């Protein structure tokens, strides 16, 4: 399913607070802070000329976040960035001294961090990022995981010293429980979704995501004509769409939000014209996108700047994982997790449907940007779905680079 967004406003797209959050200057500050980290490297941007020819488009470019900060996911940019910002904010407040990214090792800043505990609910990747950020600054973290989070993903979070709390139910249940426990105990919730009265911290998380887009745009040079980005609660999609709108105005690319058909809370929200919580049904293979209620801030942004919303089926997600692992015609091999290639799966769906192509103006001159949002964050599940170990696919990619 694909529907146009009739709420979009190409004249004055964002509210002032959202424009400030996703501004070019805010993105530059994110990149400045990121550049101070020893583990920072810009992630690869791959071109898929063979697939572009097959789909009848001019170019397909894939920003590969499977290499981000050792976490294998774009989420590494959000939660950890927010934790660092919050520690520096608190240090300024308590000490009366200025504190910047270069001051994280300062004794008084470390003392403040040691007294702070950060909590969040997670499908896996965001929790790892928050735990990594807390470990980096010397704070504590408590991560709440719901029933569908695999043991491999839980172990990856615990690797960063986090205390793990298991919650029965869905991701949305874990968000609610985490917020209550953190409020009761005076901990700081670092959520990648927002609700009424809770927007500043999710805004920091979204700010962190802008770094990947800035890297991609510098390398691309000529702006893309279309951008397809997957969504759970909508954070990465909103950050990307909002920043593109601010950077390019009415000349911005056509932006398409892609969701699992089994968890399409944003598509149902745009149909209704207001936030909608969809019923929890059969779980989706796209585990990192299994969210049933949108982030309020993300919806506020996407309602103004996203051009269309669409869904993909379970087989689409698995098919694109396999296509990227076994490329044709000289395209590079890419390790994409269950949710990583969903934006590209959306493009494949649109390209094969004449009505959808016409709706989005997709043709032989179109230049499309997509984001591989995660690598094999659960290696066993990846091998089960693809039939190859991540290392086998990554080995092919390494040889191609040589």
Alpha-carbon distance of 89 to 99, in angstroms, equals 8
pLDDT of the residue at 401 = 45
* Among 244, 294, 257, CA closest to 274: 294
| Measured CA distances, 184 to 24, 179, 181 (Å) | 37, 9, 5
- Catalytic, 75? Answer yes
Look up residue 396 and give its two tokens: 């092919």
- Kindly name the residue from 75, 192, 316, 378 that is annotated as catalytic: 75
Predicted confidence (pLDDT) at residue 402 exceeds the cutoff of 50: no
Q: Tell me which of 18, 64, 123, 316 is the catalytic residue.
A: 123
End-to-end CA distance of the chain: 41
Span 295-323, pLDDT tens digits: 999 999 999 999 999 999 999 999 999 99
- Taking only the tens place, the pLDDT of each residue in 162-186 is 999 999 998 889 999 999 999 999 9
Active site residue 123: yes
pLDDT digits (tens, 9 = 90+) for 315-368: 999 999 999 999 999 899 999 999 999 999 999 999 999 999 999 999 999 999
pLDDT of residue 11: 60
CB 371 within 8 A of CB 212: yes
Instruction: Identify the H or E element spanning 62.
Output: strand 59-64
* Average pLDDT of the chain to the nearest whole number: 94
Strand partners, 3: 309
List the domains of the chain with CATH numbers: 2-74+207-401 (3.40.50.1100), 79-191 (3.40.50.1100)
CA distances from 115 to 80, 348, 386 (A): 17, 49, 44
CA distances from 389 to 224, 240, 333 (A): 32, 31, 13
What are the angstrom distances between the C-alpha of 227 and each of 22, 309, 388? 17, 12, 29
Check pLDDT > 80 for residue 212.
Answer: yes
pLDDT of 400 strictly over 80 = no
pLDDT in tens, 269-286: 999 999 999 998 899 999
């Amino acid at each position: 399913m694909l529907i146009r967004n009739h709420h979009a406003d190409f004249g004055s797209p964002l509210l002032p607070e959202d424009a400030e959050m996703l501004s070019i200057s805010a993105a530059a500050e994110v990149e400045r802070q990121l550049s101070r980290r020893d583990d920072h490297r810009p992630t690869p941007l791959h071109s898929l000329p063979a697939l572009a020819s097959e789909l009848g488009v001019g170019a397909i470019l894939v920003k590969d976040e499977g290499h981000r900060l050792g976490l294998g996911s774009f989420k590494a940019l959000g939660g950890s960035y927010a934790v660092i910002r919050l520690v520096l904010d608190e240090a300024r407040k308590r000490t009366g001294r200025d504190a910047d990214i270069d001051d994280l090792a300062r004794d008084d800043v470390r003392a403040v961090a040691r007294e702070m505990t950060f909590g969040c609910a997670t499908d896996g990747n965001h929790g790892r990022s928050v735990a990594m950020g807390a470990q980096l600054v010397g704070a504590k973290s408590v991560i709440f995981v719901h029933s569908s989070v695999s043991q491999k993903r839980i172990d990856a979070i615990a690797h960063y010293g986090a205390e793990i709390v298991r919650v029965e139910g869905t991701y949305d249940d874990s968000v609610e429980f985490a917020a209550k426990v953190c409020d009761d105990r005076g901990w700081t919730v670092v959520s990648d979704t927002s609700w009424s009265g809770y927007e500043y911290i999710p805004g920091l998380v979204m700010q962190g995501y802008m770094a990947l887009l800035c890297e991609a745009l510098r390398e691309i040079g000529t702006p893309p004509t279309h951008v397809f980005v997957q969504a759970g609660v909508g954070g990465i999609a909103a950050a990307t769409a909002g920043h593109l709108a601010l950077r390019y105005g009415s000349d911005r690319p056509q932006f398409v939000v892609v969701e699992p058909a089994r968890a399409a809370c944003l598509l149902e929200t745009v149909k209704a014209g207001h936030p909608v919580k969809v019923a929890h049904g059969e779980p989706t293979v796209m585990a990192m996108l299994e969210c049933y209620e949108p982030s309020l801030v993300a919806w506020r942004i996407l309602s103004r700047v996203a051009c269309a919303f669409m869904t993909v089926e379970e087989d689409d997600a698995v098919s694109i994982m396999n296509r990227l692992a076994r490329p044709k015609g000289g395209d590079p091999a890419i390790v994409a997790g269950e949710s990583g290639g969903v934006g590209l799966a959306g493009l494949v769906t649109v390209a094969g449907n004449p009505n959808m192509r016409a709706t989005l103006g997709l043709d032989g001159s179109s230049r499309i940007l997509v984001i591989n949002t995660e690598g094999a964050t659960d290696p066993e599940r990846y091998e089960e779905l693809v039939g190859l170990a991540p290392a086998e696919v990554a080995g092919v990619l390494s040889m191609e680079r040589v």
